[in-house]
Structures are given as C-alpha cells and as structure tokens.
Structure 1
Amino acid sequence: MEMSIESFEELVTDELDKLPDDMVDGLENIIFVVEDRPENGEDLFGLYEGFALTERGQYGMGELPDRIIIYRHAHLAACADEGELRDEVHTTLVHEIAHFYGIDDEQLHELGWA
C-alpha cells in the first residue's frame, strides 16, 4: 500500500480523534509524531518515548514532552487497504498510549492489544 506522509498524518490524526475521551483526557505533556521508520532499523509500528505515569515522581513544568511515534512504512507494508490501515493505526495508538499510562506489553497482550 502507498500513501503520502501528509495523508498518513491526516489518517493518524483522524484515528486519534476517534479514541475515547477517557483515554486521551489524561495525556499530559505528550506529542504525537509520524516518522517513516525507526533510525535503528527495527520493524516497529510505534514507540513510546518518555516516563510512564506510574514512573513519574517529581514530574513537572519544564520537562520535555513525551513522544508517541507512529511509523508509516511498517503500517503501509502490513496493510492491504485503508480500512486495515485505520485499524492498525488505531491499535498502535492504543498500545502506545497504554505505555504512557504504565501498562506493559505483557498486560497489553492479556488485554488483546499486543
């Protein structure tokens, strides 16, 4: 599947807007970024960079924002059409937001999101 970076960014924004309010209302000091692929060559759909809420002690003003990165090439390579792509982006967003809240991969697997 092919899609421009601009169109993919719009799709990610659309899927982010569709997430439940109780999932996104608690997000603080976090940015969402689209990149083509990880610099280290790993095959990832997304990545959470930062400190989970459960690991924050004296977290406060002046901190650099945490980042959720969505990787375009991995998503396009795995999906045959836009419907599949939207589903996979949705799953990736939920997965990475869960890491923000301190939910690890094992718990996500148990919940069916990994």
Structure 2
Amino acid sequence: MIRRFGSSPSAADFEALAHAAFARIPAPFADHLDGIVVRVEEFADAETLAAVGLSDPFELTGLYHGRPMDKGSVWVAGELPPRITLYRQPLLAEWCETEVMLEDLVTHVVIHEVGHHFGLSDAAMHALEDGAP
C-alpha cells in the first residue's frame, strides 16, 4: 500500500496564517499595525543571514524589516513600509520536527516580529514569554 500525503502548505497558505495571527492581536496594539506587509520567502538569503549573525538558513523563521515605532519620526520620508518576512522552509522543518500546530508556530513568529515593530528586543520578548502564565 502506498501512503499519500497532501502537498505542503504554500506561500499563500502561510500568508493567510499570518493575516489570521494579525487579526487576533488585541487593541490597542492592533491599532498600530496598519501598513505592515507580510511576505513569504523560501529561505533568507546569505546577506540577510549574515546581518543577523546566522549561517544556517534553517535557523531563521521570520524577520521584521523596518523602523520600530519607538524610532519613528514624522521627519523620516522615503522608507518602505515595515514588513514581516516568514521563511517557509525553516517553518516547515520546525513544524515537522515538533508537535506544534503550524497555525501556532506561524502565530508565534508573527507575534515575535510584531514585538520588534514595537521596539522590543529579543531578550525582552523572551523575558515576557518566560513570565507568561
């Protein structure tokens, strides 16, 4: 008997999961998310990996690109809108290696990157997660 598996979730599926995660972010935070663009790529490129101090493309599941809100100014012009990039292959690998539901995994990454939009550091977000009930 041949086992058949469905196709892996597409970039469009990941984008839909990301938008669903945005929809669950409560006010007043949700009020400050207009204009954030979500992109899905297979992997981060070598330049992006080097910029965040990584060499293994499977180590980066998402990245915030843009000026955090606490660094914004009305005098800044000509910048692209903030965006969150999800890296599909690393997310699929983590999904396969863990028992975490894909929706929960994508939500976790989106929330983490939204934290960067609000100016939170990785250390601050980990401290918040560790203190969460």
Structure 1 runs of 4+ aligned residues shifted over 6 Å read none
| Partner of residue 67 from structure 1, selected from 71, 83, 99 | 83
Which string of whole-angstrom CA distances, capped at 9 and with x for unpartnered residues, describes residues 71-113 of structure 1? 1111111114896111111111111011011110110010117
C-alpha separation in 2, matches of 1:29 and 1:11: 17
- Whether 1:109 aligns to 2:126 is yes
Matches of residues 1-114 of structure 1 in structure 2 within 5 Å?
2-40=8-46, 42=57, 43-59=59-75, 62-80=78-96, 84-112=101-129
- Structure 1 CA distance, aligned partners of 2:128 and 2:106? 17
CA 1:17–1:66: 2 relative to 1, 3 Å: same
**Alpha-carbon distance in 1 for matches of 2:99, 2:14:** 10
Larger radius of gyration: 2
Aligned length: 113
TM-score, normalised to structure 1, is 0.81
Gap runs ≥5 in structure 1: none
Matched residue type, 1:50? G
Identity, % of aligned positions: 32
Q: Which has the higher contact order (CA 8 A, sep 6+)?
A: 1
Tell whether the 8 Å contact from 2:63 to 2:113 is kept in structure 1 after alignment.
Answer: yes
TM-score (norm 2): 0.71
